[in-house]
Amino acid sequence: MSDATLVIPAVSEPPAAPPPPAGPADRPGRLEADAVSAWFGQRKVLDRVSIDLPAGQVTALIGPSGCGKSTFLRILNRMHELVPGAALAGEVRLDGEDIYDPDRRITDARRAIGMVFQKPNPFPAMSIRDNVLAGLSLVGSRIKKAERDDLVEESLTRAGLWVEVRDRLRQPGSALSGGQQQRLCIARSLAVRPRVLLMDEPCSALDPTSTRVVEETIREIGSEVTIVIVTHNMQQAARVSDRCAFFLAAHGTPGVIVEQGPTGVIFDNPQDSRTADYVNGRFG
Ligand SMILES: Nc1ncnc2c1ncn2[C@@H]1O[C@H](COP(=O)(O)OP(=O)(O)OP(=O)(O)O)[C@@H](O)[C@H]1O
């Protein structure tokens, strides 16, 4: 490990920030990664990745399996450091502020930067309503009882699920279809009013119809909350993203960004022949 700015997770956490105020969703945030490298033990898996993720835009991270996309995504909300033996270097800034600053709590980063995973993971025995509210306690936020119903409706509406579930909010989350469960997980993330939403292959466990509905949801919320999505599906990247970053790890070397830019350019006029080969399905 040669980079000088190795980040070591804080041992003691500073006091909790106050819960976010009720009201309209916060404005979308701008994320910047600067020379981010990552290791699992002695193995370096990302090398000096720098990218600007503009506020209110959807950025797709694309590239072959194993090139470090998910690792990079997890670095963006401080999940990488939870893996034993994992280390990282470089800087990640949310609206100019270093999310790894030792004066900042991990939960502050998680509250501002939400995550939706590959497999829908609602709490199966918990009601649909309580699943939406569960996101708040996961990041240490509280909300007044009187404001809960409004927040549930607002979050489910933004996730494109309200009309389908408004008459059965007390039913368990497990009673929903896979696509509905994924939108419930999006609603759970949105209830925290994040500035950025990270999505790790959110449609890979869904059928084509559910995939389309989740993609519509992404397009609809993409101007209110900055979205970074990892996807293997090139059509999906083309459909939902404003910008793309192409990751590659050649012959066992750490992953790097080969090319990044507006989605139209990456697909129709890429500058690097490896990008052209990948987006046209010639490898990966
Ligand atoms: N917990 C872990 N411990 C050790 N190595 C890991 C761990 N997680 C990932 N890796 C390794 O880090 C490298 C990058 O993995 P990562 O999952 O970030 O790639 P990816 O591009 O997201 O792949 P995929 O598209 O298949 O999900 C891979 O070589 C992987 O084997």
Q: Where exactly are the structural domains of the chain? A: 29-279
Return the best residue to mutate from 46, 69, 247 for the ligand 1 pocket (most ligand atoms within 8 A of CB): 69
- Asked if pLDDT for residue 16 goes beyond 80, the answer is no
Going by pLDDT thresholds of 50, 70 and 90, the confidence category of residue 7 is very low
Q: How far apart are CA 268 and CA 141, in angstroms?
A: 44
**ipTM for the assembly:** 0.97
The pLDDT of residue 251 is: 85
Return the best residue to mutate from 43, 45, 198 for the ligand 1 pocket (most ligand atoms within 8 A of CB): 45
For 29-279, CATH gives 3.40.50.300
Nearest residue to 7 (alpha-carbon basis) of 102, 109, 130:
102
pLDDT (tens digit, 9 = 90+) per residue, 114-149? 999 999 999 989 999 999 999 898 777 888 989 999
Tell me if 70 CB under 6 Å of ligand 1: yes
Q: Are 210 and 184 in contact (CB under 8 A)?
A: no
**Distance of CA 68 from the midpoint of ligand 1 (Å):** 6
